[in-house]
Chains A and B, each alone.
Chain A
Amino acid sequence: MTAGAQRVPAPVADLQVHVWPTRQGIGELRGYGELFGNLLLRDLRSKYKRTALGWGWSMINPLAQVVVFTFVFRLIFRAAPPPGANGVDSFPVWLLCGLLAWNYFTIASNAGMRSLLDNASLVQKTYFPRALLIATTTVAQIVTLLIEMGILAMILLVVGIVPFLWLPGVLVVLALLACFVTGFSLVLAVTNVYFRDTSHLMGLVFQIWFYATPVIYPYRQLIEQAEGMPWLLWLYEANPMFQFVEGLRDLLYYQQVPGPASIAVMVVSGLGMLVIGWAVFLRFEPRLAEEL
């Protein structure tokens, strides 16, 4: 007999009392930090398991996108973003400064949306706050994004932009973006459990959203084309992803602080989305195990 089993249980008075169902809320998450870390490790470890290039893939994909988009939009469509800090004028670098944020948004939202279905067996057989599953996927993607950002910082150095002074600002924007994506994923994840069409629909939505956000073309060129259509520009700037993409580009490529309106949209949409996502998630969480 193993020694551990002989441990005499604590007297009843000392045992922690649980009441179920608990009131839902942020307090539920207390004490689950370690599980969060373990789930995160699981996501990160299993991501590139059994691939020869491993984490190299997380950089190869955006680089391939840069090659394709530079060819199509720079060489064929003659997209010409204004030159950046220190007179640097490089379409690929300009592109990368916005593309990484966009990629994070779509990859993390998609993974977050699927996280409940992918982990159905966990949800149906074990108890822990289910929001952890969504949070781990969006945070795991942040790790990838930070690695990519590190490489981007080196590229910036090579072309002659010293990004270090601006990195705190970049981190703040990334944190707000992560809040936005997590809130968005919380909504998508429960919606996807109740309506399995969601993931198919979102494929389409993300595609339209991508072209509606000036990631691969300069916003300046749109302003020139949109003469007499102020509503179009108003619509563009109301798009939170527009502000995140442009904000990061401002900080990294142009080395300027985004305008106050942009900062306001980022803060409100980042924190607001997180609150909305959390509220929607709590509303649908109680039945998740049976609806899966």
Chain B
Amino acid sequence: MTAAIEARDVHKDFRIYHEVNRSVKSAVMRRRRARFEQFEALKGVSFEVPQGSTFGLIGRNGSGKSTLLKCLARILRPEKGQIITRGRMAAMLELGSGFHPELSGRENVFLNASILGLSRREAEEKFDSIVEFAGIEKFIDSPVKNYSSGMYVRLGFSVAIHVEPDVLLVDEVLAVGDEQFQRKCAERFRALHESGRTIVLVSHSMREIREMCDQAVWLDSGVPRVVGPAEHVVREYLEEQDSAQAARTRVLRAGVEVFDGVDGTVLGDLAAGRPWTVRINADVADGTSEVTAHLEVVTGSGTVLVSDRRTLPVDDGGVAARVAMPPLPVLPGEYGVRVHVATADDPDHCVPANAFFLVDGGGRPESVLGGELTWDTGAEVPQSRAS
């Protein structure tokens, strides 16, 4: 079977600018455009969509699904690679995105149809059907800005579906309108499918993908992870989701204690300038070989004085570490030690632990640097000239 779409090693980079205000002034000052970081949204995506199939794109938020769809729709230009499509293509990325609020529904139908690639004659032929499907016969000559949001998307959907493209790209727009309209949409998609059109669908609803798609690709951080029959891809995806969930609860408990000196007594008070020790321990579920611990010393107002991160090996279902802390040249007051323990592959889901202690001045002056200054009062010191 011939492919309706062939994607070959598609790469897409985005620029993340570091300053909000991209002004001429700052460009002139630096003699070039705003500084930016490259972010690879698609890192070499290849797949084929067979003609007449319904193809699903799934993946977590930020995995590159919508970027890929926009590349297919020729809105974004890939830096590398090629996308070959056969036949007329229409994209439903945002319904009614081309509508001009001041123009009437009728004028907008013709404009939108023309943007989607219909000729004037084709649009005239389909006009009645478009209006009827959207169910807005009464309002077709009023400006679309007076439409309810439901009417707006129904008209947008109706125009797009009437283009009857050979390839239709859809980005999560199936959930528009009321239940009755949604049923009409689903019927329409089925009819398109039965008449041999190719549909590419981005969705977060695995039920939808299972029901509608023959084939699917699972995108993970811009790389296709599994390509194949929709049922298979969805199952793999859901399994991974479950195990990712499990990883989040793999650290069962974390604790932290603060000691005077090298394992002296448990600290209530610490004299400023004395060395001290932090002990970290955690219980970890079976099957985890290492965790990362992030240690911070903070002041009562939240300022971070010390911050360090280490990967620790798991021994017999637990983790224990002793950290020698530098003397704190700080003001008397309350301080805290904060620890976050997480599995190495999922640092965002961590288990926290806290300990607090007081620092007393140890007889030193109440300033951070302390110390003795040199005071000179000799005759050679000039008098203030203030008068």
Contacts and interface: CB of A to CB of B under 8 A. Distances in A.
A38 B103 CA distance: 12
Given A8-B195, A20-B82, A50-B102, A127 B133 contact: no
A4 B84 contact: no
B119 interface: yes
B82 A9 contact: no
Contacts of A61: none
Contacts of A197: 23-25
A240 to B, nearest CB: 23
Interface in B23-54: 23-25, 27, 33, 51-52
A161 B250 CA distance: 92
Interface in A3-17: 4-10, 12, 15-17
B76 A290 contact: yes
Contacts of A41: 107, 111
A18 B77 CA distance: 14
Contacts of B71: 20
B87 interface: yes
A41 B111 CA distance: 9
B75 A195 contact: no
B75 A38 contact: no
A225 interface: no
Contacts of A125: 75, 91, 93-94, 97-98
A203 interface: no
B84 A19 contact: yes
Contacts of A122: 97-98, 115
A124 interface: yes
A50 B191 CA distance: 41
B192 interface: yes
B374 to A, nearest CB: 53
B91 A126 contact: yes
Contact of A17 (B78, B84, B116): B84
B23 A196 contact: yes
Contacts of B78: 20-21
B93 A16 contact: no
Contact of B116 (A9, A126, A194, A201): A126
Contacts of A146: none
Interface string A33-62: 011001101100110011000000000000
Q: Bin the interface of chain B by size.
A: 35 or more
Interface in B80-135: 82-89, 91, 93-94, 97-98, 100, 102-103, 107, 110-111, 114-116, 119-120, 126, 129, 133
Given A34-B114, A46-B100, A124-B75, A290 B14 contact: yes
B70 interface: yes
Nearest to A124: B75
B100 A42 contact: yes
Nearest to A46: B102
Contact of B86 (A1, A15, A49): A15
Interface residues of A, number: 45
Interface in B178-225: 187-188, 191-192, 195-197
B73 interface: yes
B114 A35 contact: yes
Nearest to A127: B74
A2 B27 CA distance: 56
A127 B73 contact: yes
Contacts of A201: 24
Given A42-B103, A127-B74, A194-B33, A15 B87 contact: yes
A4 B126 contact: yes
A286 interface: yes
A163 B111 CA distance: 38
Contacts of A290: 14-15, 76
Interface string B284-301: 000000000000000000
Nearest to B70: A289
Query: Which residue of B27, B72, B87, B89 has the most chain A CB atoms within 10 A of its CB atom?
Result: B87
B85 A1 contact: no
Contact of B196 (A1, A9, A194, A289): A9
Contact of A19 (B82, B102, B133): B82
A121 B97 contact: yes
Contacts of B83: 19-21
B164 interface: yes
A198 interface: yes
Interface in A115-136: 121-128
Contacts of B166: 9-10, 15
B235 interface: no
B162 interface: yes
Nearest to B196: A9
A121 B86 contact: no
B22 interface: yes
A275 B138 CA distance: 48
B2 interface: yes
Interface string B48-70: 00011000000000000000001
Contacts of B82: 19-21
Contact of A8 (B23, B27, B89, B196): B196
Contact of B88 (A16, A21, A50, A121): A16
B91 A195 contact: no
Listed from nearest, the 4 A-B pairs whose CB atoms lie closest are A15-B87, A125-B97, A127-B74, A5-B191
Interface of A: 1-2, 4-10, 12, 15-21, 34-35, 38-39, 41-42, 45-46, 49-50, 121-128, 194-198, 201, 286-287, 289-290
29 contacts: A4-B129, A5-B191, A6-B191, A8-B195, A15-B88, A17-B86, A19-B83, A20-B71, A20-B72, A20-B74, A20-B77, A20-B78, A38-B111, A42-B103, A45-B103, A46-B102, A121-B98, A124-B97, A125-B93, A125-B94, A126-B75, A126-B97, A126-B98, A127-B74, A127-B75, A128-B115, A194-B22, A197-B24, A201-B24
Given A20-B78, A49-B102, A289-B75, 13 more contacts: A2-B191, A10-B166, A16-B86, A17-B84, A38-B115, A42-B111, A45-B103, A121-B98, A123-B75, A125-B97, A126-B97, A126-B98, A126-B115
